[in-house]
Structure formats: structure tokens, C-alpha cells
Chain A
Amino acid sequence: MLGVLRRKVACKANGVSALGQGIRVVASRAFSSSGKEMTVREALNSALDEEMSADPKVFIMGEEVGEYQGAYKISKGLLEKYGPERVLDTPITEAGFAGIGVGAAYYGLRPVIEFMTFNFSMQAIDHIINSAAKSNYMSAGQISVPIVFRGPNGAAAGVGAQHSQCYAAWYGSCPGLKVLAPYSSEDARGLLKAAIRDPDPVVFLENELLYGESFPVSAEALDSSFCLPIGKAKIEREGKDVTITAFSKMVGYALQAAEILAKDGISAEVINLRSIRPLDRSTINASVRKTNRLVTVEEGFPQHGVGAEICASVLEDSFEYLDAAVERIAGADVPMPYAANLERMAVPQVEDIVRAAKRACYRSTPLAATA
């Protein structure tokens, strides 16, 4: 009974009262966890909750999102609050529910489609690219697709090759899509809200290992109208000797590397990309023009990766400012192995980033000598 009442209240599209409810609900949840800290999971959950409350057209669809409370508990409590018409459990057909989501978006609803991991999105990739990404263009603006595809991306821990690939570069190359990769809880909240409100299709790449991590959140970020701009990177740590770009989990590693480098007298500037497409070229280039050295970090495969794109962009725009060749740190060029020791070798570690930054900084001798 209470659930029904709460749903009735939450679903009303009255701006102020719904938002008011939202803030009160969110604030109480945040205070009850750990002061002004929030896990990424809570951040995503609260963002979904607030957006669904504010706009009755938003609905969630995916495997296990309802009764199971979400495969990773991201949609916890939402079925109970909004009912089965807005939180839909689907059969195991990625192509099916991605296609249905696209159809619903064609009509004007705002679906949030969850893939259990983005590895499974490959079974639906035709709908994401050929239907969602290209429809607005092909229909000359008649059909817009305000859809969000979200789910964990990249490596987790001990899940093997078919559960560990990073799709940032794949989706990042496709015009018509926006591709976001949050790192902290604030990123998760602000970017997911922005993604849901955006009229274009958005691929939202989360990270399973970050779901449980806690980050401080500002009071501004807790507000239900909070939103981060799409296409702007964030300078997580300012520095002047070398620029390190990263996204998602690698931002944490880059920050740790920056701490270690600081002890060796190298001041590293860490850029959290936040947005893979559109890529914030101006922030990256401005930073490189300041530091003159660049290290790109990503978890995905090296060939045709995000780092390759950043490297090319910097060469095109800031060639004269580079004092050293660009260093790319990426995952090993192998399908992810399962054994823990092998897995560790296949993914970038903090030491790899430190070594690369040092190479970028001491590169006054010819390449052969530093091999």
C-alpha cells in the first residue's frame, strides 16, 4: 500500500513537489550513509530515481533490473517505487530490448537500457549504431532517439575474456552517439542525469569495480537538478610537468601515480576525460601546451584506442608544444586471461603509469638509449 502511495506521489510530474520529495529522499539517504560521501552505486541509483521522478517518460529496461534489484543493485528500490511499467525486466535478448528501447525512443519516451555488461551490448550493437546513432541524421531530424545505454564496461576482477573488454573506443568512433565514462560519484550523478536529459543517444560506460567505491560529494551535487556538461573533461589534479589523461577506473590509478611522481619531483596534471565522445580536445591541448608532455592511460586494447585518438589530436593541434613523444598506456593486446597473476599483467597498473611519465619527462636522449 505504502509502495503504491509512494509511487503515486513520485510519478506526479508537478515540478516542485516531486523535486522536493527527491531532495528530501536523496539528502536523507546521503546523510544516513557517511556524511557527505557516496558510493558510485548510490550515486547512480539516486540519479535514476530523481530523473524518473522528474519525468514520467523515463523508464528502465534490462535483465534483472526489477525484481532482482539490478544485477549490480544499481536499480535497487526502483521497481517498488515506480512499478513494473517503468522498471521492466526483460527476457535474455539484448537485441530485443535494445530494439524495443530504440522504438520507444522513436515514439518519444526516454528509455534507460541496461546491459549487464557492455560485452553483451555486442549482441545489440546494430540497434545502438544503425538505429539509435544514425536515425536522427538519416531521418533529417524527424526521428530523435533520446535513449541511454548504460552498464559496466571494461575489466572487473577474474571474469575472463568475454566479460572484460572496454568499448570506449568502439562507441567513441561513431558519429551520432555521445559516450560518457564517469569516475567519481559526482561524475556518475551529474553525467547520468545529463545523459538522461540529453536528446541524443548516449552510451554510458560505468565500471563494476568502482560501484562500491566511496567519494565525497558536494552539496551542489546532491541537488536533484545537478547536471554535468557533456563534452567537458575535469582536471582532477593540477600540475606542470606532464599531462596524464585517463577515464573511469584509470583516473584513480593516475592520481595514485601522480602522488608517487610528486615524491620524485614530477608534478603531474591528471585529466579525467569524463566524455569520450565528444572528446574535450581543448582541455587536453591546453594542458599539453602547459606541460609539454603527455601520457594517455586506458584499460582497453591499444590498437585504435582512445589514447590513439588523443595522441593524434594533440599532434594535430599542439605539435610544436611537445617536448617528448606521447606515451600510451593501454591494456595488453590479448583477450583478458583469467588467472589472477596473468590478469594483473594484462591491465595497466600504477607502476606502469609512473614509468611512462618518467620516460616522458627524461626523454632528452634518443629513443634507442631508453629501450
Chain B
Amino acid sequence: MAIYRLARSRTITRFLKTKICPFENIHERFITPNHSLFDAYSSYKTLAADFTRKPHELWDKTANILAFRRFESARAGEQAEAVAYTDDDDDDENQEQDPHDVVQAIDFPGGRVTFTPQIKFISESTDKRVPCYRVLDDDGYPIPGSRFEQVDKETAVKMYKSMVTLQIMDHIFYEAQRQGRISFYMTSMGEEAVNIATAAALSPDDIILPQYREPGILLWRGFTIEEFANQCFGTKNDSGKGRQMPVHYGSKKHNFVTVSSPIATQLPQAAGIAYSLKMDNKEACAVAFTGDGGTSEGDFHAGLNFAAVMEAPVLFICRNNGWAISTPISDQFRSDGVVVKGQAYGIRSVRIDGNDTLAVYSAIRAAREMVIREQKPILVEALTYRVGHHSTSDDSTKYRPLDEIEHWKTARNPLARFRKWVQRHGWWTDEEEAELRGSIRKQVMNAIQVADKTEKPSLKELFTDVYDRLPSNLQEQEKSLSETIKKHEQDFPADVPL
């Protein structure tokens, strides 16, 4: 068992002697004050490259600082007076060997680790939470010093129009359920930016594993309003053959894996798909979504741990919208949200303002590039708010204050914020807004009316796809069923085709 003597580095001591907070350091690094507001020629590569140039150094420093914090001074930001050490790879030429400042390290399975004569607990919480990446303020003005990926008019307008479409579609389908025309619906209200900006930032080859509040991605990729309606009404035109309850969309041609109700099961599956993409050498990644509630599932642990160990190119996106049905995040976990969990798995993570379209777009672009270039998982926590109820089976006014909902619906509305930015560029007008809203509304209403009247899938679809080929017992049952129907034709409902 070798014991290594390490010397103090001037850099680190200087670093530690000033009053610091590790997270402040990260913040500083990536919001540099001397960049201009609109860096017209910066590409996403620059943003991602900033991260990847020296990521390990940064994480190592953070880890060391946390480890050195003494038990008595559990508050962050206090002077850490512990003995410093440095890794022997960098700064070698600058250090002064001072025998009084030498620290010892020891080997264990897992690597070399320094030891201290005093118990040092890593604090369970910090004064300062991990800051979130934000580009636009609440009025849609870019924050001074913000760095983001430039978006051209076409993309910006398409994003905005898709957000409006999603919002209107959600509103009208919700009403349709209330009128008894469909059995169930879930809205994505308040999370339009996460939906659409993420979709815009990814490539159509990236395979999406949704939770259930990401229809915006399908919308962006070309799933039509009529197709949404057909799935919700379970008609014969549904590509899902009426097998699933509403909002459980799936589309192989859009690389959108069918929504599965059990929470977080898609997370280890994403690692599996990503591993397959890696074996195939594809320039694409798997993108798995979950909510704040989903991070409590065992599958969250399994998925992230495996992805890190297998070095699978998965982009984990957590929509932290504050509520898991009626469970607020204070009852869900006691960590600083979801972003800090990434480090526990050895996964690089970032927290972003999920209601800021441009922030989401830039962050996802950067994260995706990292995932594919480094073939490692990344965790993105998008802070947002679930404006609507969990689903049509829920009445959230029963467990949260009305004014809170109102606040997020109006003052913190992601559409309004982005619209202001787009309009200020001269890319959108009030007339276009009115026209768009009118036409989408009409299109959605029409789609619903048509779907409502469309035939249901034929009876033979009851038996197909259980297996690759129809097994004998189902063939028998199908035959027996059609014979029974023939015998009692008058009792068989007219609107169900055979």
C-alpha cells in the first residue's frame, strides 16, 4: 500500500484563502461579463467547448473543496482552512515544496484518496443552491452577459408557433375530455418551452423516450393535429390501433418511443438504446425525460448508474415542475433538486430555466453535442412549473393555492416571454398572432370533430400484435368471436367495424 506525498500548490492555496463558494465558481466560469449580448457568430460548439475544455479540473476542485469543509463549519461560503493538496499532473513547475504542508494519500479500491485526522462530513445542504442557466429575463430581454446560441428567424418563429399550437391543442383537448368526448387527457401547460425548444435543439435521429408530458417533441417532428386527435379518440386512423389510452403517443418514424405509464421505466431503457446506438456508431443519442417525481423511482438510480458505467450516450432531461400530482418537491426529495444527483453517479449535470426558450435551446444543443462527442450521459434539470392539473382526473386547486397557479400562468408564462423577444426582432406581429391562434383553433376543433365521427379500429386488431404472429389460441378466439357476432348481428354495435 503506497503512501504518496503531495505538495501544496500555490494556485489552490490562493484559491482557498479567499472566501469562496464552489458553485459561485461554476457560475463565474460560464457567465463571463465581457461577452457581447448577441454573439452573432458564436456556434453551439463554443458553448459546449467551454464546458469540455477542462471539465474534470473543475469537478475535481469542487469535490476537494467539499471534502475539506470541516464538520463544525457546515455552512458553505466559510473559509476552508484545511490543508491543501494538488494533483501531481498540473502546476508542477510552479509549486514550492514546503515539507510542513505535506499531506498523505492512500490507495483503496476505487483509487487514491487523501486522508485527514479529523472527521469531515460533506454537508447535506448548502446555503447557495446550484444556479440555473437563464438567458432572457421575464420581459424577454436578454440578460446582460448571457451567452446563448443564436437562433435564426425561421427557427425562432417555428418554435413560437409550435408553442402556441401546443398550448391551444392542450386547451381544447382538455375541454373535450370535460365534455365526455375522450376519456382522459394530460396537458403540458407551462412546459411548452421545455417541450419545443428541446425538440428544436435535437436532431430527428435522436431517439426520444418520453415520460408523458412531452407531446411538443412529436409536434415539432411533424406529428399532425389530426394524428393527435386520432390517438386520443382511438380511431381506426390511429397509428397505435387504438391500443393505448389518450396522450400515450408513439411513433417509430418520428423516433418517439411509445409512452409507457409506469414512471421512470424509460430511464434504464434509454441507457439500453444509447448503448445500441454506440455499438452502431451512430451520430445520435437517446433522450430520456422524467419529472421530479420520477427521480424517486428505483429505475432513476438504475438508469443513471448504468448509463454512467456503460458510458452510454443518453441525455437525461428532468422536468422539475414542482409537483408530482399532489406531492410537492419538498416531499419528494431533500436534495437541492435533481441537478446535484448527477454528480453522485459521475454524470455531468446542469440546471436551466425551463421556461426560457432560448436557454433551453442553447443548453440542450450544448449538452447533446457533449453526449455524442464524449459518448457519456449528461443530466439536465429544467426548472419549470406545471400550470395545469396533473391530468383530467386531478383538481390541483385542492392542494395548491390558486394565486400560485395564476402567477405561473401569467407572469411566468414561457410563451409571453419568448413572444416579446421574437416580436422585438421584428419577426412576429400581433396580427400574425391573432391569425395563428384563430387558424390553429379551427384546425384542432375540426380534427376533434372528424376524429369523433371516425370509425374505431376493426375487431381483428383486438388480437394482432400480442405476438409477432397470431398464435393458435387467439386465432380460435377470433373465429369464435366472429361467429358469435354473425349469430347476433342485431345486438352488435353499429359503429364498431369487424
Question: Taking beta carbons and an 8 Å cutoff, which residues of A are in contact with B?
Answer: 85, 88, 90-91, 93, 95-109, 111, 126-127, 130-131, 135-144, 175-176, 178, 198-200, 231, 278, 281
CB contact under 8 A between A99 and B303, given known A126-B262, A130-B265: yes
User: Is B21 part of the contact surface with A, judged by Cβ < 8 Å?
Assistant: no
List the A side residues contacting B306 at CB < 8 Å.
90-91, 93, 96-97, 100
List the A side residues contacting B471 at CB < 8 Å.
231, 278
Q: How far is the CA of A56 from the CA of B273 in the complex (A)?
A: 16
User: Are B272's CB and A130's CB within 8 A?
Assistant: no
List the B side residues contacting A96 at CB < 8 Å.
268, 271, 299, 301-303, 305-306
CB contact under 8 A between A131 and B265, given known A139-B240, A142-B239: yes
CB contact under 8 A between A106 and B305, given known A136-B466, A137-B243: no
Sample of 25 A–B contacts (CB below 8 Å)? A88-B310, A95-B299, A96-B271, A96-B303, A97-B268, A99-B267, A100-B268, A103-B275, A104-B272, A106-B272, A127-B265, A130-B265, A136-B465, A138-B260, A139-B240, A139-B465, A140-B240, A140-B461, A142-B239, A142-B240, A142-B251, A199-B468, A200-B467, A278-B472, A281-B473
From A85, A93, A103, A139, contact of B272 by CB (8 A): A103
Q: How far is the CA of A141 from the CA of B242 in the complex (A)?
A: 12
| Bitwise interface map of B from 351 to 371 toward A, beta carbon under 8 Å scored 1, else 0 | 000000000000000000000
List the B side residues contacting A88 at CB < 8 Å.
310
List the B side residues contacting A90 at CB < 8 Å.
306
CB contact under 8 A between A176 and B467, given known A101-B272, A103-B273: yes
Interface centre among B243, B244, B302, B310 (most CB of A within 10 A): B302
User: Is B207 part of the contact surface with A, judged by Cβ < 8 Å?
Assistant: yes
Task: List the B residue with the shortest CB-CB distance to A143.
Answer: B258
Q: How far is the CA of A198 from the CA of B270 in the complex (A)?
A: 23
The smallest beta-carbon distance between A253 and chain B, in angstroms, is 28
List the A side residues contacting B257 at CB < 8 Å.
106, 143
List the B side residues contacting A104 at CB < 8 Å.
272-273, 275-276
The smallest beta-carbon distance between B277 and chain A, in angstroms, is 7
User: Is B252 part of the contact surface with A, judged by Cβ < 8 Å?
Assistant: yes
CB contact under 8 A between A139 and B276, given known A96-B302, A100-B269, A103-B268: no
List the A side residues contacting B241 at CB < 8 Å.
140-141
Query: Top 4 closest A-B pairs, CB basis?
Result: A103-B272, A99-B268, A96-B302, A103-B269
List the B side residues contacting A130 at CB < 8 Å.
260-262, 265
Task: List the B residue with the shortest CB-CB distance to A130.
Answer: B262
Interface centre among A88, A99, A126 (most CB of B within 10 A): A99
Q: How far is the CA of A97 from the CA of B271 in the complex (A)?
A: 9
> B residues 281-316 with Cβ under 8 Å of A?
286, 298-299, 301-303, 305-306, 309-310
List the B side residues contacting A278 at CB < 8 Å.
471-473
CB contact under 8 A between A143 and B269, given known A107-B277, A136-B468, A137-B466: no
User: Are A106's CB and B239's CB within 8 A?
Assistant: no
User: Are A103's CB and B270's CB within 8 A?
Assistant: yes
Q: How far is the CA of A93 from the CA of B271 in the complex (A)?
A: 13
User: Are A175's CB and B466's CB within 8 A?
Assistant: yes
Task: List the A residue with the shortest CB-CB distance to B251.
Answer: A142
The smallest beta-carbon distance between B182 and chain A, in angstroms, is 18
Q: How far is the CA of A231 from the CA of B471 in the complex (A)?
A: 9
The smallest beta-carbon distance between A366 and chain B, in angstroms, is 36
> B residues 418-471 with Cβ under 8 Å of A?
461, 464-468, 471
The smallest beta-carbon distance between A99 and chain B, in angstroms, is 3
User: Are B269's CB and A95's CB within 8 A?
Assistant: no
List the A side residues contacting B270 at CB < 8 Å.
103
Task: List the B residue with the shortest CB-CB distance to A137.
Answer: B465
List the B side residues contacting A135 at CB < 8 Å.
258, 260
CB contact under 8 A between A131 and B276, given known A96-B305, A136-B466, A140-B241: no
Q: How far is the CA of A176 from the CA of B465 in the complex (A)?
A: 8
Q: How far is the CA of A135 from the CA of B272 in the complex (A)?
A: 16
User: Are A107's CB and B273's CB within 8 A?
Assistant: yes
The smallest beta-carbon distance between B464 and chain A, in angstroms, is 7
List the A side residues contacting B467 at CB < 8 Å.
136, 176, 178, 200
User: Are B271's CB and A100's CB within 8 A?
Assistant: yes
User: Are A138's CB and B268's CB within 8 A?
Assistant: no
List the B side residues contacting A138 at CB < 8 Å.
240, 243-244, 248, 250, 258, 260
User: Are A99's CB and B299's CB within 8 A?
Assistant: yes
User: Are B464's CB and A102's CB within 8 A?
Assistant: no
Interface centre among B241, B273, B461 (most CB of A within 10 A): B273
User: Is B279 part of the contact surface with A, judged by Cβ < 8 Å?
Assistant: yes
List the A side residues contacting B261 at CB < 8 Å.
130
Task: List the A residue with the shortest CB-CB distance to B244.
Answer: A138
From A109, A127, A198, A200, contact of B276 by CB (8 A): A109
From B250, B275, B303, contact of A139 by CB (8 A): B250
Task: List the A residue with the shortest CB-CB distance to B252.
Answer: A142
Q: How far is the CA of A198 from the CA of B469 in the complex (A)?
A: 10
Q: How far is the CA of A101 from the CA of B272 in the complex (A)?
A: 6
Q: How far is the CA of A147 from the CA of B109 in the complex (A)?
A: 35
Task: List the B residue with the shortest CB-CB distance to A281.
Answer: B473
User: Are B267's CB and A109's CB within 8 A?
Assistant: no
The smallest beta-carbon distance between A182 and chain B, in angstroms, is 20
User: Are B465's CB and A91's CB within 8 A?
Assistant: no
Task: List the A residue with the shortest CB-CB distance to B462.
Answer: A137
From A107, A178, A199, contact of B207 by CB (8 A): A107
User: Are B262's CB and A103's CB within 8 A?
Assistant: no
The smallest beta-carbon distance between B351 and chain A, in angstroms, is 25
User: Are B260's CB and A140's CB within 8 A?
Assistant: no
The smallest beta-carbon distance between B303 and chain A, in angstroms, is 7
User: Are B309's CB and A91's CB within 8 A?
Assistant: yes
List the B side residues contacting A85 at CB < 8 Å.
279
Interface centre among A93, A135, A138, A281 (most CB of B within 10 A): A138
From B251, B265, B267, contact of A126 by CB (8 A): B265
Q: How far is the CA of A91 from the CA of B273 in the complex (A)?
A: 18
User: Are A107's CB and B276's CB within 8 A?
Assistant: yes
List the A side residues contacting B277 at CB < 8 Å.
107
The smallest beta-carbon distance between A176 and chain B, in angstroms, is 6
User: Are B272's CB and A107's CB within 8 A?
Assistant: yes
Q: How far is the CA of A367 from the CA of B268 in the complex (A)?
A: 55
The smallest beta-carbon distance between B213 and chain A, in angstroms, is 18
The smallest beta-carbon distance between A214 and chain B, in angstroms, is 34
From B266, B268, B274, B275, contact of A95 by CB (8 A): B268
User: Are A106's CB and B273's CB within 8 A?
Assistant: yes
List the B side residues contacting A178 at CB < 8 Å.
467
Interface centre among A103, A143, A200 (most CB of B within 10 A): A103
> B residues 153-189 with Cβ under 8 Å of A?
none
List the A side residues contacting B310 at CB < 8 Å.
88, 100
List the A side residues contacting B267 at CB < 8 Å.
99
List the A side residues contacting B276 at CB < 8 Å.
103-104, 107-109
List the B side residues contacting A105 at CB < 8 Å.
272
Interface centre among B251, B286, B464, B466 (most CB of A within 10 A): B466
Task: List the B residue with the shortest CB-CB distance to A200.
Answer: B467
User: Are B305's CB and A93's CB within 8 A?
Assistant: yes
